[in-house]
Amino acid sequence: MRLTSRLPALAAALALPQLALATSIVRGPFLQQTTPTSTIVVVSTDAAAHVEAVADLPGGGTAQAKSDGTHHLLRLSGLPAAATIPFHVTLDGAPAGDGSVRTPAVPGTEAARHAVIGATADTGSAGPNARANVARMELRGVEAVLTMGDNSYPDGAAGEWDTTFFGVWKDLMRSATMWTGVGDHEYRTPFAQPYLDAVELPQGPQGERYYSFDWGDLHVAALDTNCIVPMDASQMGCDTATMVAWLEADLAASKAPWKLVTMHRPALATGKYGVFPEIPRALLGPFEKYGVDLVLQAHNHLYERTWPARQGAVVKKDYDHPGAPVYLTAGGGSDYLYESVLPAAEWTAFRATEYQHLILTLDGGTLLVESVRPDGSLLDKFQIVKDVPPPSADPLTPPAPGDTTTPPPVPEQSVAGPKGAGGGGGCGSGPGGALALGIVGAVLAWTRRGARARRP
């Protein structure tokens, strides 16, 4: 038999082990930390691999990022603001997923006055109601999603997240940027470490536990109320004084017309648990001093809307130029509800023990808030009206020279390997790559021996 006649069989034999050990995506692609000009596409693979993300820019051209390793942070830069940009992901050169990122507008522009954002909490039960709430937000075409904690039940343990979080959000999170908050269930695992490993959020003074961002004319501060009322102070990684000092500096520095806060344990609520008094004592002052408009909270698995309130006292019983924060408990994203143990308070405007999620629609000086059931029917709605400054520039106007808000479209290399770990990857890395190189070497040696035996 000639050597050439053996080559098809050799190729098939070489391919079989590689097919059995083919690398796959286990998490993602999903969107994190989107700004008017960039986003991070996050992908995790079950073995070291080469992953690329390519965004197709309006008018031609692409933004690209690539990574070798198992945990891939693919930062796409040079994106246009207030736009929808499709992207696709390849794994070792093969198509492996796609999505589209919706960038927020540059704050202060006309486009920044408009946004549609989803919000929910306690979805970590991962049952039919949690999934239906998420699916309904996808149908509404939200640009971004806020979560107020308890993203994974029962303990926020490492083995839960693929089912309780990524299994629930996998479709929406490739088209809407996720801005998650941490709840008490995440801290049933020390330091909420699996939560911190699962997401890629902006860094604050105590890691990713609390942070802030702008989405057009909305400024959002995502807090960790476990820092105030810890389950175990030795396993928190944060404290009240540091977080509150950061919050005050953050809110004071923000020039955004609208200010929102998200957090898990509430500052003003009735329901089953009410509030831990340490939380309003720490937070009501900064909220009121720096003009927070809306506080989204959870923990109580129900829905409750307050009148505008200062230090627990009603300011007025409407939302036209309220002059004080409104507190909204939206814990109906779960698959089980809590009946109210505590009676309604003077500041309770409406409450209901129902499954629901929120849709926030910004339109200039009006913020419409809808509480929507999983079937799409409306549970409650109200709108906050306030005076906001006129837009400062046309969003299509090119940035001024030296403006760092629009970096050049240079592909950025993502980090390789999990947080806190070294990199790796590339050709031959990982168990599949090592085996492939070994097989190739053996086959080449065999073919050389066969060829030498047949030489005349």
Q: 168 to each of 193, 312, 370, 425, how far by Cα in Å?
A: 20, 36, 22, 29
Name the residue with tokens 């990122």. 101
Cα 416–chain centre separation: 20
Which residues have a Cβ under 8 Å from the Cβ of 185 and sit 6 or more positions away?
Answer: 124, 149, 150, 152, 153, 154, 155, 156
Of 136, 134, 139, whose CA–CA distance to 122 is shortest? Answer: 134
Picking from 198-212, 270-284, 434-448, which range would have the lowest pLDDT averaged per residue? Answer: 434-448
Q: Is the peptide bond before 29 cis (omega within 30 degrees of 0)?
A: yes
Answer yes or no: are the C-beta atoms of 68 and 422 closer than 8 Å. Answer: no
Is the pLDDT at 403 greater than 50? The verdict is: no
Please state, as a whole number, how many other Cβ atoms lie within 10 Å of the Cβ of residue 447. Answer: 14
Tell me, what's the pLDDT at 23?
94
Residue by residue, DSSP assigns 191-207 as GGHHHHHH-----BTTB
Q: Is 417's pLDDT higher than 80?
A: no
Instruction: Check whether 159 has a pLDDT greater than 60.
Output: yes
> For residue 393, what is the DSSP state?
B
Question: What per-residue confidence (pLDDT) applies to 41?
Answer: 98
The mean pLDDT of 316-328, rounded to a whole number, is 98
Q: In this model, does residue 214 exceed pLDDT 70? A: yes
pTM of the model: 0.83
